[in-house]
Chain A
Amino acid sequence: MTGGRLHPFTLLAIAAALPALAWILPAPDGPAATLVVALVLTLTPGASPALTGIASSPGWRRGLVVFRTALLTAAPFWLFLLLLHDVPTTIAIGLRITTMVASFVWLVATLEPARLVEAMIAAGWSASIAYLLAATLSAVPVLKARARRIVEAQRCRGLSPRGGIAARLRALRALALPLVLSALHEVDERALALETRGLVPGIRRTPLAPPRDPAVEQAARWVLLLACLAALARRFIVPRFI
């Protein structure tokens, strides 16, 4: 399965349905099943290298990088959950949170913001809202690339991000401030640029290359929605689904 070939709405539907089912279905089986599906998705090699910043990773390794990113992002949640709850609750909530994280990481890696904008415009959405959603999804790789550039610049000035905890904290401080400030500065300039490029509220943007939306994908999205609704209904009907 190659996520990049699916219609953006289908990708969004999958990424939304998995966490929804993880929270609706009973633990631990339900969330475990959704997590397996989400992790398998992260392993699919359809992730766009331009989005994930893993262009140097050849072939199948792209999927491994996305997989690892999902697990590393979810790991701290398990630690905090274990400190706050007993083991069964930790497993139940941890599986659900990890499903959410893995779905989002997979979505960011596969969904091309430009295709999403085109799909939303073709579906009659406002261009501003489409851009806002797409820009949110592309923020992670953009910030990642910027952080890498800042770290390289700090290295040139003799600050090493490696070593003991104290050294890493110093490096983190040297990274965080320029990262936040430069991002805020760029927001101002980007706003000016988009304004002058015609992206203003109320426009009727011409779709340039709307992605193909086959009937089978449209049906699949309805199936996902119905599956979520059915699971929700069953949870209310059957008392043991708590």
Chain B
Amino acid sequence: MKSLTLDHVSFWYPATASPALRDVSLEVVQGEVVALVGALGAGASTLLLVAADLAPRVIGGRLAGTVARRDRSGIVLPTPWTQASGMAFTVRDEVAFGPANLGWPAHEIARQVDRALERLELVPLASRDPATLSGGELQRVIIAAILAMDPGLVVLDEPAAELDAESARTLWRLIRLLAKEGKAVLLATSALDALPEVADRVVWLENGAVRAVGTPDLLADVAVCDAGLGTSVATVWRAGGLREPYPLTVADAVQRWR
């Protein structure tokens, strides 16, 4: 079932003449992970703001086309320190801030908070003051805070940017788990090597428009690699002057090499 449908969507930020998104059409269905890739300024973050119903409703600007959302969305922005509520003195209270705003009964809030803390491996930090956390820890808290609100559409903007390698792996596994549970996940990331394992579909954005949509194999495509958006293995293969098609992952490369 479709969670999000964008139909010929263009978006202009306030006081700008050229659109940040141009004629974008995209569907995200429940149980699917869709990854947006593109160079800086390609429009991925803008698309996420539109998907999460923050643009133009909150940030202003003008939108053309239609956006249909079936589920409530929750977005994780790339800067965790500006997403903390500032009203909580413990990690647990920070995670509970969103569910409390939804007016849920206290026992349901506690259940969702406990679940989110466990999923992000934050139970040992539950009593810590969010102001004392590292960037990576705070990023996990913010992700937990969004998941505790049980959104049907999870929108993630560079969710692994502040995370160490192990935390990032945990997050990617969690994202697959969320999709398995039926949530729709739309994310933008520059961690391209993770996408073959995480994403069902990859959307290549260029200058605010969709350049190509496909399976993660797209990240080994010649044009994508030329644009600097291929996986590390594909990029190295290309730099080594080896024959196309480029392998997507290390396993692919080993297989090809043999």
Closest to B103 in A: A204
Query: Which bucket holds chain B's interface residue count?
Result: 35 or more
B100 in the interface (beta carbon within 8 A) = yes
Contact with B along A167-201 (1 / 0, CB 8 A): 00000000000000000001011111111111110
The residue from B83, B99, B129, B131 contacting A193, defined by CB atoms under 8 A apart:
B83
Does B87 make an interface contact (CB < 8 A)?
yes
**Residue pair A206, B82 in contact (C-beta under 8 Å):** no
> Would you call A138 an interface residue if the criterion is a C-beta within 8 Å of the partner chain's C-beta atoms?
yes
Closest residue to A206 on the B side, CB-wise? B100
Known A-B contacts A50-B89, A50-B129, A113-B86; A192 and B59 likewise in contact (beta carbons under 8 Å)? yes
A198 CB, nearest partner CB in chain B, Å: 3
Check B98 for interface membership: any CB of A closer than 8 A: yes
Q: Are A198 and B98 in touch, CB under 8 angstroms?
A: yes
Which single member of A195, A197, A200, A207 contacts B145 (CB below 8 Å)?
A: A197
Q: Which of B77, B86, B103, B149 sits near A205, CB closer than 8 Å?
A: B103
Do B54 and A206 touch across chains, with their CB atoms under 8 A apart? no
Instruction: Please measure, in the bound complex, the distance between the C-alpha atom of A188 and the C-alpha atom of B104, giving whole angstroms.
Output: 27
Interface presence of B1 (CB below 8 A) = no
Q: Is the interface of A mostly helix, strand, loop or mixed?
A: helix
| Residue contact B54 to A189, C-beta cutoff 8 Å | no
Asked if A142 and B74 make an inter-chain contact with CB atoms under 8 angstroms apart, the answer reads no
- The verdict on A203 contacting chain B, using a C-beta distance below 8 Å, is yes
User: Is B225 part of the contact surface with A, judged by Cβ < 8 Å?
Assistant: no
Separation of A151 and B85 alpha carbons in the complex (Å): 25
Q: Are A199 and B101 within 8 A (Cβ)?
A: yes
Whether a CB of chain A sits under 8 angstroms from the CB of B17 is no
Contact pattern, B 85-102, Cβ under 8 Å of A = 1, otherwise 0 = 111110001001111111
Q: A113: which B residues are within 8 A, CB to CB? A: 86-87
- Interface 1/0 per residue, A191-229 and B, CB below 8 Å: 111111111100111111000000000000000000000
* A92 CB within 8 Å of chain B: no
The answer to whether the Cβ of B116 comes within 8 Å of any Cβ in the partner chain is no
- Contact check, B54 vs A186: say whether CB atoms are below 8 A apart: no
- Name B residues whose Cβ lies closer than 8 Å to a Cβ of A: 49, 52, 54, 58-59, 73-75, 77, 79, 82-89, 93, 96-106, 109, 129, 131, 145-146, 149
15 residue pairs from A and B, CB less than 8 Å apart: A189-B83, A190-B82, A192-B49, A192-B54, A192-B58, A193-B82, A196-B54, A196-B75, A196-B77, A196-B146, A197-B98, A198-B101, A199-B85, A203-B103, A208-B100
Given A114-B93, A197-B83, A208-B109, 7 further pairs, Cβ under 8 A: A50-B89, A113-B87, A114-B87, A114-B88, A190-B86, A197-B145, A197-B149
**Pairs A-B, 10 closest by C-beta atoms:** A198-B101, A189-B82, A193-B83, A197-B98, A204-B103, A206-B100, A114-B87, A196-B75, A198-B98, A198-B102
